Amino acid sequence: MDETNSTNSLIRQMMSDGMMPEGSVVVANFQTAGRGQVGNVWESEAGKNLLFSMVIYPSFMSANRQFLISQIAALSVKETLDQYTDGISVKWPNDIYWRDKKICGMLIENDLSGHDLSDSIIGVGINVNQEAFHSDAPNPVSLLQIIDREVDCDEILESFRRRFYNYYLLLLNEEYDEI
């Protein structure tokens, strides 16, 4: 998709229009109203970064374990970026840093049915090929700025999805100690 206000909002709208299969992903080249935790705005130059949301239906998980969704999403991003550079770390619950600079933000929206999760929307924004940042966001950095070459956003997305799926299977099988 070329442009949307927010991939999380779009995937939620698509869900309300009809059931989306688990693991469905919406990717946008630009978000006019991308957001993070507590309504923070996400800056991204059109076509330069990886902006996506994915839906899962973890109805097997109790609400008191919902933090595990954030955990496996963060680990999946970290391990994906580890393929390109050292110094990647997770700042819980929703940021990924390279050294002291923010390279990724996530917004996880969980819905409940009784005491269990019904669906989770995992929104991810990774600074991939942006050369400069102009907002007052503290310490943004892109993969391009770190490794001095462009990276294919589709390659990053596929690596994330593969890793996330493997972790999600561990949750499904209640193998929490393996995470």
β-strands 25-28, 30-31 pairing: unpaired
Q: What 8-state DSSP symbol labels residue 9?
A: H
- Given a cut of 90, whether residue 33 has pLDDT beyond it is no
- Given a cut of 70, whether residue 35 has pLDDT beyond it is no
**Mean pLDDT computed over 111-125:** 96
Partnered with residue 30 across adjacent β-strands are 3
Q: What is the DSSP string of 91-141?
A: ETTTEEEETTEEEEEEEEEEEEETTEEEEEEEEEEE--S-----SS-SSB-
Say how far apart CA 160 and CA 167 lie, in whole Å.
Answer: 11
Say how far apart CA 154 and CA 161 lie, in whole Å.
Answer: 10
Task: Pull the structure tokens for residue 132.
Answer: 């400069």
Neighbours of 28 (CB within 10 A): 24
pTM over 0.85: yes
Architecture per CATH, 3-178: 2-Layer Sandwich (3.30)
- Given a cut of 70, whether residue 99 has pLDDT beyond it is yes
- Reported confidence tier of residue 150, pLDDT bands at 50, 70, 90: very high
Task: Pull the structure tokens for residue 63.
Answer: 């609400």
Domains of the chain: which residue ranges? Answer: 3-178
